Structure formats: C-alpha cells, structure tokens
C-alpha cells in the first residue's frame, strides 16, 4: 500500500512523441516561412533597385536600402527556429524554445524604431519641406514595396498563427509596417502630383500612428508569451477533458506556458483512492493523451495524481497546499496519508 500511494503521489510524465514531432514540424514550417518571405522581399528590393537606377533618385535609393535592411530582421527569427529544434541539455532542460521569444523582442524593437524614424522624417518634412523629384518613379516603387511587404505580412502572420509562433506573427506585423510606409510614399507622391506638396509629410504622420497601432499589437502578444500568458479557453478545455476522464474525482489545477511555439501543461488531479497502481498510472497516461489531443499546440503534459479523500478532503489537503510542488511538502502529505491508514 505504501508503494502504491508513493507512486500515486509522484508525478507521471510520459514521452509525448507526437507532440514533439509536431513541434519539430512547426519549427520547419517557421524556417520555410522565413525563407520564402525573404525571397519575396529580395525580389521586391531588386525591382526597387532597378527603379532607382532608372530614375536616379537618391531619396528613393535610401528608402530601398532601408527596406532591404528591415527584411534582414527575419534572420534572428530564422536562427531562433533553428535553435528550437535542438534537444534539451542538462543546463537548458526545457530546450531552446525561449530563443524564439527573444527574437520576438528584437522584432518589436525594430517596429518601434520604424515608428520613430517615420515620425521623425514626417516632422522634418513639415518643418523643412523639400520638393520630391521623380514622382512617377517614386509612386511605382511605393506600390511595389506595398505589394511585396503586404504579401509577406499575410504569409508570415498566417503561418505564425498556425504554428503558434508569436514571434513570427510579430515579424509579419513588422513587414506590414514596411508595407504601410511604402503606401505612404505612394499616397504622398499622388498628393504631390495633384499639387499638394504637404501630402507627403501628412501621410507620414498618419502612417506613424498606424505603425504605433501595429506596435501595440505585436508588443502585447510577445510580452504575453514572456509572462507565460495563455488563452483562458485552453485552460477551460483542459479542465473539461480531465474532469471527464473516468477515475478522476476532481481537477485541482491546470497550468500552461508557452516555450517558443509549443505549449507545456502541468495538471493536478484527485483520483479514486481505491485504484491500484496500474490503474492510477493508466489514468495519468490517459489524461496526458487527452490533453495533447484537445489542446492545440500542446507538446507535453505532466500529470500529478493524488488520492482523493472522500471523508474530509479539505483537512487532508488544505487550500494552501493545493499548488505546492516541493518534495518536502509531498513527503509531509504522504506521512499524513499513511498515518490515516
């Protein structure tokens, strides 16, 4: 009996091979998205370079270089996806998925920098207006920049949401800010062509506000990941699935956290105390199986099973101990249970 109770008190963790395989596939999908989007942005930049050569516009050349430099911000994300496929080590026991979140911080910083640059340039043009040359070429370059960046934005955001990568979504939003900037160039050129030279800086200020809105969304998502925030619906889904498992008396707690683009869960269950060790193990294994299949992007689940006390559960497991996970506390619980036998 002592061995059975001890095993029940020990957390069950099973190799979620399917979840880990999905994580590797997601990393590969992220790398593929970065590669394809870099190719598209490269083609867009080359087209803009051709326009620069044909027009001879120095200002347009500077804008093209800026767009090309922004495209390279996807490289840290590429590195992060590659590192996330590495196996965990004795030092980094949860693997290297957090590198993806750090890359997301870098992307957020680049979006903020884009907003600062756009706002500064718009204010400078309001204070010190200067004529824009080669209006037709500038408009064409702006149109190409918008089409290329917006396609990349839609692609990265779609893939990022599918694989659960907040960093890739943020990078998609970053591409969108570049597209919005190019759209401002197009709008400003149109205003100048219609005889309204202040259209360029005014569009610049409007675009700055738009970039700040994008920045807010990207920063919220990335920082939420860093703070281990998850969608409450995931918790509700997990609690419902665990409570429906035969042999489970109640669900004490469910906690989840993102590491990169993978979810990891930790659940505590009260189970029927009359069950055998094999039956308790079967419940824990089945609970993990249920969670991996009902919660999207869940890679692993650790199930802690405790024998329910039908007579006085509040006295046996006081509320202050419900979330305790230290070995010392579990031993104290075990001695208390054995004393009641």
pLDDT for 158 equals 92
Residue 41 CA to residue 179 CA, distance in Å, equals 11
Tell me: the pLDDT tens digits for 109-152?
888 888 888 788 888 878 887 666 677 777 788 888 888 888 99
Checking if the pLDDT of 19 tops 60, the result is no
Long-range contacts for 82-87 (Cβ within 8 Å, ≥24 apart)? 82/27, 82/31, 84/23, 84/27, 84/260, 84/261, 85/24, 85/27, 85/28
Q: Mean of the per-residue pLDDT values for the chain?
A: 78
pLDDT in tens, 216-260: 998 998 999 889 899 999 999 999 999 998 888 889 999 999 988
pLDDT, position 236: 93
What are the residue ranges of helices labelled H in the chain?
2-9, 17-55, 58-71, 74-84, 98-127, 135-163, 166-193, 199-226, 232-243, 277-294, 313-316, 327-340
Give the global pTM: 0.71
Tell me what the mean pLDDT of segment 18-36 comes to: 73
Structure tokens at 105: 């911080």
- Taken in order of first residue, the domains within the chain and their CATH numbers are 13-227 (1.20.1510.10), 232-337 (3.30.70.1350)
Report the pLDDT value the prediction gives residue 8, as an integer from 0 to 100.
34
What is the pLDDT, as a whole number, of residue 63?
Answer: 63
Q: Which residue has the higher pLDDT, 190 or 252?
A: 252
pLDDT greater than 50 at residue 2: no
Say which residue, 7 or 157, is predicted with more confidence: 157
Token representation of residue 117: 């640059």
- CA pair distance 91, 281, nearest whole angstrom: 29
Residue 183 has pLDDT above 60, yes or no: yes
> How are strands ordered across the β-sheet holding 298-307?
12-13, 298-307, 262-271, 248-259
By CB atoms closer than 10 A (0-12, 13-18, 19+), residue 277 is middle
What percent of the chain is modeled with pLDDT above 90? 14
- Give per-residue pLDDT as tens, 308-330: 875 544 444 444 444 444 445 45
Cα–Cα nearest to 287, from 21, 8, 10, 13: 13
Q: Which residue has the higher pLDDT, 118 or 160?
A: 160
């Amino acid at each position: 009996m002592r061995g059975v109770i001890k095993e029940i008190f020990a957390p069950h963790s099973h190799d979620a091979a399917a979840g880990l395989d999905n994580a590797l596939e997601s990393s590969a999908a992220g790398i593929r998205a970065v590669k394809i989007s870099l190719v598209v942005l490269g083609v867009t930049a080359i087209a803009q370079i051709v326009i620069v050569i044909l027009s001879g516009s120095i200002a347009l050349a500077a804008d093209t270089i800026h767009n090309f430099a922004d495209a390279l911000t996807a490289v840290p994300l590429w590195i992060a996806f590659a590192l996330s496929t590495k196996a965990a080590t004795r030092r980094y026991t949860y693997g290297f998925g957090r590198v993806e979140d750090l890359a997301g911080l870098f992307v957020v910083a680049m979006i903020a920098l884009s907003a600062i640059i756009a706002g500064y340039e718009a204010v400078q043009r309001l204070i010190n207006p200067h004529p824009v040359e080669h209006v037709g070429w500038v408009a064409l370059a702006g149109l190409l920049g918008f089409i290329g960046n917006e396609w990349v934005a839609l692609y990265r955001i779609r893939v990022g949401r599918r694989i659960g990568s907040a960093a890739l979504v943020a990078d998609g939003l970053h591409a969108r800010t570049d597209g919005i900037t190019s759209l401002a160039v197009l709008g400003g050129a149109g205003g100048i062509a219609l005889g309204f030279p202040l259209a360029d800086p005014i569009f610049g200020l409007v675009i700055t506000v738009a970039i700040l809105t994008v920045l807010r969304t990207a920063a919220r998502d990335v920082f939420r990941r860093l703070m281990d925030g998850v969608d409450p619906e995931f918790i509700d889904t997990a609690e419902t699935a665990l409570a429906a498992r035969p042999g489970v008396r109640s669900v004490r707690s469910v906690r989840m956290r993102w590491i990169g683009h993978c979810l990891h869960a930790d659940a505590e269950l009260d189970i029927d105390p009359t069950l055998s060790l094999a039956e308790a193990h079967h419940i824990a294994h089945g609970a993990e199986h249920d969670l991996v299949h009902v919660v999207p992007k869940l890679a692993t689940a650790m199930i802690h099973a405790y024998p329910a006390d039908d007579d006085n559960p509040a006295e046996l497991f006081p509320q202050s101990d419900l979330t305790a996970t230290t070995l010392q506390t579990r031993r104290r619980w075990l001695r208390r249970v054995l004393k009641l036998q």
